[in-house]
A and B are shown apart, each in its own frame.
Chain A
Amino acid sequence: MRRPWRAALAPYLWLLLFFALPFALVAKLSLSHTVLAMPPYAPQLDLSRGLGGVSAFVRQLSVETYGRLASDRLYLAAYLSSVRLAGLATAILLAIGYPIAYGMSRFAAGARQVLLMAVILPFWTSFLIRIYAWIAILKPAGLLNQALGTLRLGPLDLLNTDSAVIIGLVYAYLPFMVLPIYAVLERQDASLIEAAEDLGCTPTIAFWRVTFPLSLPGVAAGALLCFIPMVGEFVIPDLLGGSQTLMLGRTIWTEFFADRDWPAASAVAVVLLATLIAPILLFQRQQAKVLS
């Protein structure tokens, strides 16, 4: 075929219309000011006036909304706490996800298949339901405190705290950390370890000198795959966090649905995206490398 890329015309146009164009609208709205708190927002692009319309439009754009974000403590706090909670959860995920992935890779091939499916299966069951399950566990008279009570340990008041958000994040994203690490470990050539041990390494040293460094691409993929969406997470902070738990995803939701401040919601979205653009590009480069 001379022009094989013609087959991609449909998905191409689809994504331009439903993915790229909407982003331009978000960017535009973040630079607009509210007229009576509902659409339309000024300025409006008047293409019938030709280039004059475009330049009039550009001159009227304002960074007023961003100024508002920068001067409001609440937005800064939400920004910092999103990055902090997502970073903390990523660190915990690494600490518990790596041993699980490593453990899985040590089983015989048949058992590995079953374990792999067991880790993937929860991903297929509803995210919302899995977070809901934690409410019954963490609430004051919930199952965790009932269990602690029989052990005569003090009640823990976890629901509606940042700790509950971390637990929820770690729980929901665990498969995304385990799978990329497992994929790398499973492919690793066992003879490398044998060689290291023949050359006098103890199994522990062989692990830290050979296995672990070689698994770093999987670690990086898992960390990015978890960190990026967690920064913008909405459901988990909303259901498990308290009113004091501020995260950007939740801020966008509140600005949009409760306060009806669309320019502010758009500006927060742009800031969130600007924060995540570097990790997203990193992730894309890695994906392209894996797939090609």
Chain B
Amino acid sequence: MSRRGRSGGPSAFNWGSVVLGLAFLYGPIVLLVIYSFNASRLVTVWGGVSIRWYAALARDSQMLDAVWVTLRVGLVSATAATVLGTLAAVTLARSARFPGRTLLAGMIYAPLVMPEVILGLSLLLLFVALDLPRGFWTVTVSHATVTLCYATVVIQARLASFDLSLEEAAQDLGCTPVGAFVKVTLPTIAPAVAAAWMLAFTLSLDDLVIASFTSGPGATTLPMRLYSQVRLGVNPEINAVSTLLIAVVSLGVVAAALIQRRRTA
């Protein structure tokens, strides 16, 4: 198939828009990383190369505590979201009709675009009404609620190309419904489940607004800590944390993409 046939490859205009677009996307991030190695306290004045802000970071116990809280919230909430999301996605993909399908689908798609302030406020009101003390668990439950919707969409997209009759065949051959799911469906959608978990984990790691509403004393997450610092002004230590965070996430994403490519190749 001569897909790009006559018009040939990308034109100068195509090159220009892609290069400028990527420069716009990456420029600010690159500057932020460069200035994390700045010796000067003034973030925007270059004072030579130094790793003093990384050293300062290692001594900042409040920041390290926040990192620890964030990782725990992310691990627990992403796991819960992936389990719930898999169940929801399988049901939505498998049965075109069942009682309340529209409601379930609505509750899954709505949070994807809903402003975070509304989600945060409404969850907080729930926790207040239930008289639950705010802290680690309230943030975790809130993150699981929002990220389960993303997890469902990712897994549902993969299930769209999955032949459900395979599962029926397994059941005809004597598998229980749960057995057929575990032995046939789950291995097939495993890459999507892993991708859903990673997405849920990253979203939880990144969330400021919902955590601010639903968290309490002793459960300050990294974005909450960063936000209170940023409000005081730019500070090279924030650049250092950000650089580390960007490095970890980029390595994870690139590694995941390479693994998936090797599997499909």
Contacts and interface: CB of A to CB of B under 8 A. Distances in A.
Interface of A: 1, 3-5, 7-8, 10-12, 14-23, 25-26, 29, 39, 96, 99-100, 102-104, 106-108, 115, 117-122, 124-130, 132-137, 139, 141-143, 146, 171, 174-175, 178, 190-191, 193-194, 197, 203, 224-225, 228-229, 231-235, 239, 248-249, 252-253, 256-257, 262, 265-266, 269, 272-273, 276, 279-280, 283-284, 287-288, 291-292
Given A5-B95, A11-B148, A129-B32, A103 B18 contact: yes
A143 B44 contact: yes
B94 interface: yes
B139 to A, nearest CB: 12
B257 to A, nearest CB: 6
Contacts of A103: 10, 13-18, 21
Given A8-B88, A193-B7, A256-B121, 11 more contacts: A12-B88, A14-B144, A15-B145, A26-B118, A103-B17, A125-B250, A130-B28, A130-B29, A228-B115, A273-B114, A291-B160
B223 interface: yes
Given A126-B206, A291-B157, A171 B245 contact: no
B interface SS class:
helix
Given A4-B91, A125-B249, A174-B24, A14 B35 contact: no
B155 to A, nearest CB: 11
Contact of B122 (A25, A136, A276): A25
Given A5-B91, A12-B100, A234 B117 contact: yes
Nearest to B33: A133
Contact of B115 (A119, A122, A232): A232
B5 interface: yes
Most B CB within 10 A of own CB, among A8, A174, A224: A8
Most A CB within 10 A of own CB, among B18, B26, B99: B18
Q: Sorted from nearest, which 9 A-B pairs have the closest CB atoms? A: A232-B115, A22-B122, A8-B91, A5-B98, A100-B21, A103-B14, A99-B17, A133-B28, A11-B88
Contact of A284 (B20, B98, B110, B141): B110
A23 B103 CA distance: 14
A283 B109 contact: yes
B51 interface: no
B17 to A, nearest CB: 4
A278 B254 CA distance: 37
Contact of A194 (B6, B117, B125): B6
Contacts of B48: none
Given A12-B104, A253-B117, A190 B128 contact: no
Contacts of B92: 8
Given A4-B95, A124-B249, A235-B208, A136 B17 contact: no
30 contacts: A7-B90, A8-B98, A10-B83, A11-B88, A18-B145, A21-B126, A22-B125, A26-B125, A96-B24, A103-B16, A106-B9, A106-B11, A106-B14, A107-B14, A117-B254, A121-B254, A126-B249, A132-B242, A133-B29, A139-B234, A190-B5, A191-B1, A225-B113, A232-B118, A234-B116, A234-B117, A249-B117, A269-B117, A287-B109, A287-B153
Given A39-B128, A124-B250, A284-B110, A96 B91 contact: no
Contacts of A10: 83-84, 87
A interface SS class:
helix
B246 A129 contact: yes
A195 B101 CA distance: 43
Given A128-B226, A291-B160, A133 B31 contact: yes
Contacts of A14: 84, 144-145, 148
A267 B229 CA distance: 30
A47 to B, nearest CB: 13
